[in-house]
Chains A and B, each alone.
Chain A
Amino acid sequence: MSKKQTKEITESTIILPEDIKKEYTILNLGPTHPATHGIFQNILKMDGEKIVEAESTVGYIHRAFEKLAERKAYYQITPYTDRLNYCSAPLNNLGWHMAVEKLIGAEIPKRVQYMRVIIMELARIIDHIICNSVIGVDTGALTGFVYMFQQREFVYDIFEEICGARLTTNIGRIGGFERDFSPKVWKKIEQFLKEFPKVLAEFESLFVRNRIFMDRTIGCGAISAEKALSYGFTGPNLRATGIDYDVRVMNPYSSYEDFDFIIPVGTQGDTYDRFMVREEEMKQSLSIIRQALDKMPEGPFHADLPEFYLPEKQDVYSKMEALIYQFKIVMGENDVPVGEIYHAIEAANGELGFYIISDGGRTPYRLHFRRPCFIYYQAYTEMIKGAMLSDAILTMSSLNVIAGELDA
């Protein structure tokens, strides 16, 4: 038997951590990954479970809305706006109507503005429901999601009662609404205002002071206020960093100046703050709806805009003028004034802007959507650098990136 050789330990034989040759793994997250809720591709360079570098590719559901819109009459563009942020389609629809009304210089009755505020706030609530309950799902808590989605379904019922559609609503018309809210709608809104706070309180008791949830979200995907501004953040994501920018207050539209509400802000700009800002915004939205219901003025449900608002069907059969207008509107042959406008609304994800250049024809000469998702999603690769893979998923869901709005 040979003698066992013992090696002497010298300084050169000790392996230090920096001597180990690092091997990175390339992980292709997406484009159709169940955890990313949409079509996003991120190519991640991983060191174990840590992300070293990331690169995102977008454009998988690009549908060229801006080009298509150059062939369509203004009222025909509304269904395209449905498909921007499809989680809160009414916000986009009404924002578009308001942009066109600004271009043609229409005066909108107070009642229509208040009705719009109700719909927009309902849409904001259901968008925040999606975002916040999905944060819960991504941290491993499915329960809250199910209960909150029941309420979301209820708001869909309200939309269905108003316009006949649920997800891609095409709600309202240029100049107002196609019909007044039915008594059933008012009843359902009241019922929602009564029931939703209870569900929301239950949801909060599941999450807000939950140790696991807090450990998981505090400090995850944080961004500083300066960085967020530079990256063009708007909406709840910007407010979570501590900047109280809200289009509803800065440049009020649709009579938002009549309502009393608070802009919630965070401090750290992390996932927990974004969650909390959205929670508080839902409560503020409820309060705005309550105020709008209490102050609801009497009056017509549409503006006096014969060139853009379809006449009563009865008149079309009996009056020549109404028939002419009906024909011209449906064919989209009404010219709009020459002009250039930018109209911004506070959508659920931030400042949704419509930039229209009109050369006086039936279609916009150039239309550009300022999509909040597209602008702030570019910060994502920087936000997840150095984080764990599971935190990257959580960061994405807390940013509430919607693929339809990203790619337009």
Chain B
Amino acid sequence: MLISQSVQEKLINEINEHFQDALVKHEVLYDMFTITLKREAVAPLIRHLYNHEEFKFKFLTNLCGLHYPNQKNQELGLMYQLHSFENNYRIRIKTFFPINDPVIATVTDIFNAANWMERQEYDFFGIEFKGHPNLKRILNVDDMTIFPMRKEYPAEDQARKDKNDIMFGR
């Protein structure tokens, strides 16, 4: 899945040329070339790569939220994974932002598939996508007040004693 060294360099040059200071870092994680960007640049860059004559990243494979409570002012994050069928390039784009300001531009105007993917990340991480046509909870109940995939909500402790459940036992 890893793209070659020359393509990686070309991609970095492309980003530096069109989006100054947007690139935070780039690395190869196992078999995927990963770029970390500032959040303002994410949606414009994805659109740029979508329309790009050579790269043609026309497919959004995956989108998922991340939460690192210990990163000061960079607690929440998003991971986008793009795929160019024609060249068989796969890249991963990451971005991080503070938890009290979890707003990022939507990519639903580029990919229809992003609609539910973004709703899912809103549902679980509380990331707000600016410009999303229908941003509401998708898998959880509508009147839920928390964002359950955040790390401050641990999955239930198997050994907890405060529940008295006669029917199913504990």
**A positions within 8 Å CB-CB of B:** 58-59, 62, 64, 66-68, 70-71, 102-103, 227, 229-232, 243, 245, 250-251, 339-342, 344, 351, 353, 355, 357, 366, 368, 370, 374-379, 407-408
Point out the residues of chain B lying under 8 angstroms from A243, CB to CB: 85
B88 touches A339 (CB 8 A): no
Q: Is the CB of B140 within 8 A of A62?
A: yes
Please tell me which one of the listed residues A59, A71, A379 contacts residue B112 in the complex, with CB atoms under 8 A apart: A379
B66 touches A230 (CB 8 A): no
Bin the interface of chain B by size.
35 or more
Cβ-defined contact, B139 with A62, below 8 A: yes
The 8 closest A-B pairs by CB, nearest first: A232-B113, A59-B139, A368-B64, A62-B139, A230-B112, A340-B29, A71-B155, A378-B116
* Contact residue among B111, B112, B148 (Cβ-Cβ distance under 8 Å from A64): B148
User: Does B1 contact A251, Cβ atoms closer than 8 Å?
Assistant: yes
Please provide the chain B residues from 92 to 129 with a CB less than 8 Å away from any CB of chain A in the complex. 92, 111-113, 115-117, 120, 124
Q: Which chain A residue lies CB-closest to B158?
A: A71
Docked Cα-Cα span, A351 to B59, in Å, equals 12
Contact at A245–B85, with CB atoms within 8 Å?
A: yes
Residue B58 at the A interface, CB < 8 A? yes
Please tell me which one of the listed residues A103, A227, A378 contacts residue B115 in the complex, with CB atoms under 8 A apart.
A378
Can you pick out 20 interface pairs between chain A and chain B where the beta carbons lie within 8 Å of each other? A58-B138, A64-B155, A67-B149, A102-B31, A230-B111, A230-B112, A230-B113, A231-B113, A232-B59, A232-B60, A251-B88, A342-B32, A342-B62, A342-B81, A355-B62, A357-B66, A366-B64, A370-B62, A375-B113, A379-B112
- Chain A contacts for B112, CB-based, 8 A: 227, 230-232, 378-379
The complex places the Cα of A71 from the Cα of B149 at a distance, in Å, of 12
By a beta-carbon cutoff of 8 Å, the part of chain B in contact with chain A is: 1, 29-32, 34, 58-62, 64, 66-67, 79, 81, 85, 88, 90, 92, 111-113, 115-117, 120, 124, 138-141, 148-149, 154-155
Q: Is the CB of B111 within 8 A of A232?
A: yes
Bound-state Cα–Cα, A340 to B115, Å:
25
- Judge whether A368 and B155 touch: CB under 8 Å: no
Residue of A nearest to B115 (CB): A378
Name the residue in B64, B66, B92, B111 with the highest tally of chain A Cβ atoms < 10 Å from its Cβ: B64
Contacts A245-B85, A355-B64 known; 19 new A-B pairs at CB < 8 A: A59-B138, A229-B85, A230-B111, A230-B112, A232-B59, A232-B60, A251-B90, A340-B30, A341-B31, A342-B81, A342-B90, A355-B62, A357-B66, A366-B66, A368-B64, A370-B61, A375-B113, A377-B116, A378-B116
Q: Which residues of B contact A378 (CB under 8 A)?
A: 112-113, 115-116
**Complex contacts, A368 vs chain B, CB 8 Å:** 62, 64, 79
Measured CB to CB, the closest approach of chain A to B90, in angstroms, equals 8
CA distance A377 to B115 in the complex (A): 11
- State A342–B30 Cα separation when bound (angstroms): 9
What CA separation (Å) do A344 and B61 show in the bound complex?
Answer: 10
How far, in Å, is B22 (CB) from chain A's closest CB? Answer: 21
On whether the beta carbons of B62 and A58 are closer than 8 Å, the reply is no
In this complex, which of A232, A344, A355 has the most chain B Cβ atoms within 10 angstroms of its Cβ? A232
Q: Which of A67, A103, A353 makes the CB contact (< 8 A) with B61?
A: A353
Q: Which residues of A contact B30 (CB under 8 A)?
A: 102-103, 339-341
Chain A residue with the shortest CB-CB distance to B66: A366
CB B78 to nearest CB in A, in angstroms, measures 11
Residue of A nearest to B68 (CB): A365
Please judge, given known A-B contacts A59-B140, A64-B148, A339-B29, whether A229 and B58 are in contact too, CB under 8 Å.
yes
Tell me the nearest residue of chain A to B148, going by C-beta.
A67
| Across-interface contacts of B60 in A (CB, < 8 A) | 232
**Bound state CA distance, A5 and B29, in angstroms?**
89
Cβ contacts under 8 Å, B111 to chain A: 230, 232
In the complex, what residues of B have CB within 8 A of residue A245's CB?
A: 85
Q: How far is the CA of A232 from the CA of B59 in the complex (A)?
A: 7
Q: Which residue of B lies closest to A363 (CB)?
A: B155
Which chain A residues border B62 with CB–CB below 8 Å?
342, 353, 355, 368, 370
- Provide the residues of chain B in CB contact with A250, threshold 8 Å: 85, 88
Complex Cα gap A366–B155 (Å)? 13
Please name all residues of chain B whose beta carbon is closer than 8 Å to the beta carbon of A370 when the two chains form the complex: 61-62
Cα-based distance from A229 to B64 in the complex (angstroms): 19
C-alpha spacing A375/B83, complex, angstroms: 15
Query: Distance (Å) between the CB of B160 and the closest chain A CB?
Result: 13
B79 with A67: CB separation less than 8 A? no
Query: A95: shortest Cβ distance to chain B, in Å?
Result: 14
* Cβ A375 vs Cβ B29 within 8 A: no
Q: A66-B149, A229-B59 are in contact. Are A342 and B92 (CB under 8 A)?
A: yes
Using A341-B30, A355-B64, A357-B66 as known contacts, say yes or no to A375 and B149 having CB atoms under 8 A apart: no
- Of the candidates B79, B85, B116, the one whose C-beta lies within 8 Å of that of A375 is B116
| Contacts known (A341-B29, A342-B81, A353-B61); A68 close to B155, Cβ less than 8 A | yes
